[in-house]
């Protein structure tokens, strides 16, 4: 195929390609990227943008990292893929061991999936099959909190916020779940038992039907970038234990250091029954996710009627993805990521603080390598996106939120350009 001009590329893109949460033809143009390195995206027209999104929170080490490139290239010379049914390979085995080592000590089993949404589907299916194998078939529903987001596939949609979670159009089609009020406690708030009242009431009333609770630990991501107290998570774990309910933690966005701890659950010191990982797992190189569980879950399912767990993706445990995941995790663990993330948090908190004085701003907050400016009204993407590009930065707001989740390798001067653009453009709104 001949090389396309920028105009040809944009025309085909606008008329024929569906982007995430977009219409056809596209309401406004996408920006063609020609290359990426470090924290910079190079557009096809030669402009450079400092990336404040880590490509939807997954490119922890930035782009084109030599160690991650080498891991892919080395594995490619051996094999790019092989079916995982009846076969195994060293990258999957090594990655499994590494994931078991960095997760809570009760987590000992790993199921590889294709994406975060699929990992959630697997977790939900795992919980339901566990209770089916326990001869407790009335436990078929899940409990979660409002303002959550867990993905775009059918079961994952059912545990996203039913009003603001982007999937309300599918109500009546997705499984009906239980929703408690979103945690009202901020991350550093002194604990008050009233924060858990609504959640506790639903558990007490419906625990015989509830197979599992599913939560994003500490940070509710795409549902609103809300940070809540570790004490809330501790009380959820206690209630799950008390009423014989499984706990699924969705660490897809919070895993691998983004919140300042290696996993979000480590802020609360709790252990889930099932955990989902994704996004940063491969350092942003390839799609891969994992659903992990305890021996309690795996043994019950394996001894049940089917004798097997009923799931198996075609590209499960892709060797290229596993190899680069190992390299990414080892690179993270061997770096001074904690101090880096702490520095990013301090800089975000300080440099976004002028937005607190703006009348149209509801809140400004920072936790780990996450900085959020929450507006009182939603943004117009067609207007605001070009403003950021013209400032030489890539920031992708949504709803009422202008937020930053930069790669951990970002230097203070580059982060300062991102925060300055956010403050200036928020001020113009």
Region label for 10, one of left (φ > 0), alpha (ψ between -120 and 50) or beta (otherwise): alpha
* Chosen domain end from 333, 354, 382: 333
Residues 346 and 325 in one domain: no
Residues 275 and 353 in one domain: no
Among 200, 261, 279, 400, the one annotated catalytic: 279
Residues 342 and 315 in one domain: no
Rounded CA-CA distance 236/366 in Å is: 24
- Average pLDDT per block of 10 residues along the chain, 429 residues long: 90 93 88 97 97 97 98 98 97 98 98 97 97 94 96 92 74 90 97 98 98 98 95 98 98 98 98 98 98 97 91 96 98 98 98 98 98 96 95 96 98 98 96
* Chosen domain end from 265, 298, 333: 333
Contacts with 45 (C-beta within 8 Å, 6 or more apart), sequence order: 6, 32
Residue with tokens 């809140």: 363
The answer to whether residue 63 is catalytic is: no
Rounded CA-CA distance 421/429 in Å is: 12
Question: Strands 210-215 and 246-250: what pairing?
Answer: parallel
Give one DSSP letter per residue of 24-78, joined into a string: SS-SS----EEEEEBTEEEETTS-EEEESSHHHHT-TT-BS-HHHHHHHHHHHTT
Residues 312 and 341 in one domain: no
The answer to whether residue 424 is catalytic is: no
- Say if CB 278 and CB 115 are below 8 A apart: yes
The answer to whether residue 130 is catalytic is: no
Residue 395 covered by a domain: yes
Residue 95 covered by a domain: yes
Rg (CA), the chain: 22
Residue 160 covered by a domain: yes
Q: What is the pLDDT of residue 171?
A: 76
The predicted model scores a pTM of 0.97
Q: What is the pLDDT of residue 179?
A: 97
Residues 233 and 355 in one domain: no
Give the chain's domain count: 2
Q: What is the pLDDT of residue 2?
A: 84
Q: What is the pLDDT of residue 28?
A: 84
- Residues β-bridged to residue 141: 210
The number of angstroms, rounded, from the C-alpha of 250 to the middle of its chain's C-alpha atoms is 8
Residues 179 and 47 in one domain: no
Residue with tokens 């701003």: 361
Residues 60 and 80 in one domain: no
Count Cβ atoms within 10 A of the Cβ of residue 223 and give its class: 0-12 exposed, 13-18 middle, 19 or more buried: buried
Q: Which domain holds residue 368?
A: 31-64+336-428
The answer to whether residue 243 is catalytic is: no
Among 250, 261, 266, 273, the one annotated catalytic: 250
Region label for 49, one of left (φ > 0), alpha (ψ between -120 and 50) or beta (otherwise): beta
Residues 258 and 307 in one domain: yes
Residues 213 and 141 in one domain: yes
Among 149, 195, 228, 285, the one annotated catalytic: 149
Residue 392 covered by a domain: yes
DSSP 228: B
Tokens of 427: 């001020």
Domain with residue 38: its CATH number is: 3.90.1150.10
Q: What is the pLDDT of residue 246?
A: 98
Rounded CA-CA distance 86/80 in Å is: 17
- Continuous segment of H or E residues that includes residue 197: helix 197-206
């Amino acid at each position: 195929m001949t090389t396309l001009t920028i105009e040809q590329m944009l025309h085909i893109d606008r008329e024929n390609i569906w982007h995430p949460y977009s219409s056809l033809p596209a309401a406004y143009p996408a920006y063609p990227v020609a290359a990426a390195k470090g924290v910079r995206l190079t557009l096809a027209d030669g402009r450079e943008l400092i990336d404040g999104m880590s490509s939807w929170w997954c490119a922890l080490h930035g782009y084109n990292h030599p160690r991650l490139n080498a891991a892919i290239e080395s594995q490619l010379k051996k094999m790019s893929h092989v079916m995982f049914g009846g076969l195994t390979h060293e990258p999957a085995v090594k990655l499994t061991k590494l994931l078991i080592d960095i997760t809570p000590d009760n987590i000992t089993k790993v199921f590889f999936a294709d994406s975060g949404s699929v990992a959630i589907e697997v977790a939900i299916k795992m919980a339901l099959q566990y209770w089916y194998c326990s001869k407790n078939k009335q436990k078929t529903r899940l409990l979660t909190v409002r303002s959550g987001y867990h993905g775009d596939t059918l079961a994952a949609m059912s545990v996203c916020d039913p009003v603001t979670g982007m999937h309300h159009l599918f109500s009546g089609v997705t499984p009906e779940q239980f929703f408690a009020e979103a945690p009202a406690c901020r991350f550093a708030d002194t604990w008050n038992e009233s924060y858990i009242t609504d959640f506790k009431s639903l558990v007490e009333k419906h625990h015989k039907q509830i197979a599992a609770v599913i939560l994003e630990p500490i940070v509710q991501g795409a549902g609103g970038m809300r940070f809540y107290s570790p004490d809330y998570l501790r009380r959820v774990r206690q209630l799950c234990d008390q009423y014989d309910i499984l706990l699924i933690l969705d660490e897809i966005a919070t895993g691998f250091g983004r919140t300042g701890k290696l996993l979000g659950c480590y802020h609360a010191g709790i252990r889930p029954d099932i955990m989902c990982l994704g996004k940063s797992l491969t350092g942003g190189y390839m799609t891969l996710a994992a659903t992990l569980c305890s021996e309690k879950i795996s043994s019950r399912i394996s001894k049940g009627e089917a004798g097997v767990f009923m799931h198996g993706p075609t590209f499960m445990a892709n060797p290229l993805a596993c190899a680069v995941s190992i390299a990414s995790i080892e690179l993270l663990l061997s770096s001074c990521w904690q101090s880096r993330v702490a520095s990013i948090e301090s800089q975000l908190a300080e440099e976004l603080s002028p937005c607190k004085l703006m009348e149209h701003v509801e809140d400004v907050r920072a936790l780990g390598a996450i900085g959020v400016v929450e507006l009182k009204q939603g943004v117009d993407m067609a207007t605001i996106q070009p403003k950021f590009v013209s400032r030489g930065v890539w920031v992708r707001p949504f709803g009422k939120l202008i937020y930053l989740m930069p790669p951990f390798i970002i230097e203070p001067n580059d982060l300062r350009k991102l925060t300055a653009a956010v403050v200036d453009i928020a001020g113009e709104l």
